[in-house]
Amino acid sequence: MTTWILLGSIVALALAFNLFWRKREQGRTETGRQELEELRAMGDIVPASIHPVIDPIRCIGSGACVYACPEKSVLTVVNGRGVLTNPLGCIGHGACAAACPVQAINLVFGTAKRGLELPHVDPDFQTNQPGVYIVGELGGMGLIRNAVSQGRQAADHVVAGQRRAAGDSLDALVVGAGPAGTSATLRLMEAGLRVLLLEREAFGGTITHYPRAKVVMTGFLDFPVYGRVSKRKMSKEQLVALWGDIREKTGLQVAVGELVEKIERADDGGWLVSSTGGVFKTANVLLALGRRGSPRKLDVPGEELSKVVYRVIEPDVFQDQHVLVVGGGNAAVESAFALLDGGKCASVTISYRKNNFARCRQPNRKRVAAEVEAGRLTALMGTQVEEIFEDRVTLRDASGEQSSVRNDALVIQIGGTAPTALLQDVGIEIVTKYGEA
């Protein structure tokens, strides 16, 4: 009798667990369907980095890809098949492909309908122009771990090669002091080459523009000279501190405030790099730039006012101000969060031309909703900036109705333009990838 009771209890628990699991999966499927509808309404979205394409015939709907993704909001199982529901949230970890038990996932650039323009590089990250290399985000790989690895690999090729400078010229010039550029410079230093690192803004590159307390996946980072960093997750503050420690312990020198404007071939086959600080002659050039390039502007009256900025670096400079953030992507909403968390602003408002934040990662969308409900954030959906004044901003909605918002500072986060013109002037081949690896 006791045995039957025990078996009945086990069966009841199994049935209860199965019911719980099915309801949970049904909820996720419904969420996935809604996300797909939002995605279709946005048209064909092209992620800026490598991303997964799932073969629906081979996929068995195990959900392994969903659980393996560190971002936790990119893939969903819908109707028994894995689906990419948030392509703009993907930053190319590749964990989904590794976790798939039936190899139903390929990692590609672009989509079948809309291509992604990328510079063509060989396996050593050298372009069709000898001595010019492209690593990191500009080549379509936005993950910090990948960027560090690519920078080191490109530098290895320079070290093993024969291109060296004569006289007082440089053996290599690295442009961009983010993960790829820092790694490349350290490897070149390690090999004893004459190298100079240029950075337009701040040492650390893109990481210095992350919102305060933002946590990113890094994995193991192997820096030449400095050594291995074993933390799998790091906050913006930890990353900035790491870069400071790297600079102090390795003696790495970086020229900050140098915007590269032109690269041209020298008579001896080397390269002349013109920046805002002068002209540098070098045998090799390693471009470790971001894809953002120059920030995209609204092109409206008043945008030249000093209160208009395109990034939130230190939120506390906006203390006691009425701040309006313009944009609807992850960068825009995370800027708003940084202002809410550390800005001590009089008010924070976000204006977006569409009616939802479908371009954002799921955690960001949830927090936006929570902040709006709590009254800490005002979201003006379906609006566009029409004119900027010293003390206010004029907006226009889809019906053409105008409204005025009190404003002391305006943060414009609507993307940027990749430095394609610079690459084309050098003669670097640009290829368009349509769903290709």
Q: Are 431 and 423 in contact (CB under 8 A)?
A: no
3-class DSSP state of 405 = strand
Residue 66: what pLDDT? 87
Torsion of CA 21, 26, 104, 359, to 10 degrees: -120
Task: Provide the H-helix boundaries in 76-143.
Answer: 95-99
Tens-level pLDDT at each residue, the chain (437 residues) = 567 666 666 776 766 666 665 565 565 556 655 655 655 555 556 666 778 888 989 999 888 888 888 777 788 888 888 888 777 677 777 788 888 999 988 888 777 777 777 888 999 999 999 999 999 888 776 678 888 999 999 999 999 999 999 888 999 999 999 999 999 999 999 999 999 999 987 888 777 766 666 666 666 888 999 999 887 778 878 888 899 999 999 999 999 888 888 999 999 899 999 998 899 999 999 999 876 666 788 989 999 888 998 888 778 889 999 999 999 988 899 999 999 988 789 999 999 998 888 778 777 888 999 999 999 999 999 999 999 999 999 999 989 999 999 999 999 998 776 677 788 888 999 888 776 66
**DSSP one-letter code for 139:** G
Which tokens hold the place of 152? Answer: 């080191």
Write phi, then psi, for 248 (nearest 5 degrees).
Answer: -70, -45
By three-state DSSP, how is residue 125 classified?
A: coil
Copy the structure tokens of residue 22: 């099915």
Token pair in block for residue 185: 């410079």
**Burial class of residue 394 in the structure, from the number of CB atoms within 10 Å of its CB (0-12 exposed, 13-18 middle, 19+ buried):** middle
Residue whose C-alpha is closest to residue 137's, from 258, 288, 360, 243: 288
118-293: CATH topology is FAD/NAD(P)-binding domain (3.50.50)
118-293 and 295-415 share one CATH topology? yes
Given this model, what pLDDT does residue 137 score?
81
What are the CA-CA distances from residue 291 to residues 47, 141, 361, 416 (Å)?
12, 10, 19, 8
Q: What is the phi-psi region of residue 415: left when phi exceeds 0, alpha when psi lies from -120 to 50, beta otherwise?
A: left
Which H helix or E strand runs over 271? strand 271-275
∠ CA 114-49-315, nearest 5°, is 120
Residue at token pair 């719980």: 20
Give pLDDT, residue 214: 67
Alpha helix segments (H runs only) across 95-196: 95-99, 144-160, 179-190
Spatial neighbors of 265 by CB under 8 A, at least 6 apart, are: 129, 271, 272
* Ranges of each domain in the chain: 27-115, 118-293, 295-415
Q: 163 and 188 in contact (C-beta within 8 Å)?
A: no
- Cα-to-chain-centroid distance, residue 422: 21
CA distance 137 to 48: 9
For residue 238 the two structure tokens come to 């930890």
144-160 helix and 179-190 helix, angle to the nearest 10 degrees = 30
Q: How far apart are CA 125 and CA 104, in angstroms?
A: 28
Nearest to 339 by CA among 213, 241, 217, 240: 213
Pick the CATH number of 295-415 from 1.10.8.60, 3.30.870.10, 3.50.50.60, 3.40.30.10: 3.50.50.60
Place of tokens 């031309």: 353
Count Cα atoms within 13 angstroms, Cβ side, for 213: 9
CA distances from 269 to 129, 203, 255, 331 (A): 10, 30, 25, 41
Q: Are 358 and 38 spatial neighbours (Cβ–Cβ below 8 Å)?
A: yes
Phi, psi dihedral angles at 143 (to 5 degrees): -75, 135
- In this structure, are residues 216 and 239 in contact, taking their beta carbons and an 8 Å threshold? yes
- Answer yes or no: are the C-beta atoms of 86 and 66 closer than 8 Å: no
Residue for token digits 């307390």? 213
φ/ψ of 32, rounded to 5, equals -65, -40
First-to-last alpha carbon distance for the chain, in angstroms, is: 62
Beta bridge partners of 325: 350, 411
Q: What is the third-level CATH fold of 27-115?
A: Alpha-Beta Plaits (3.30.70)
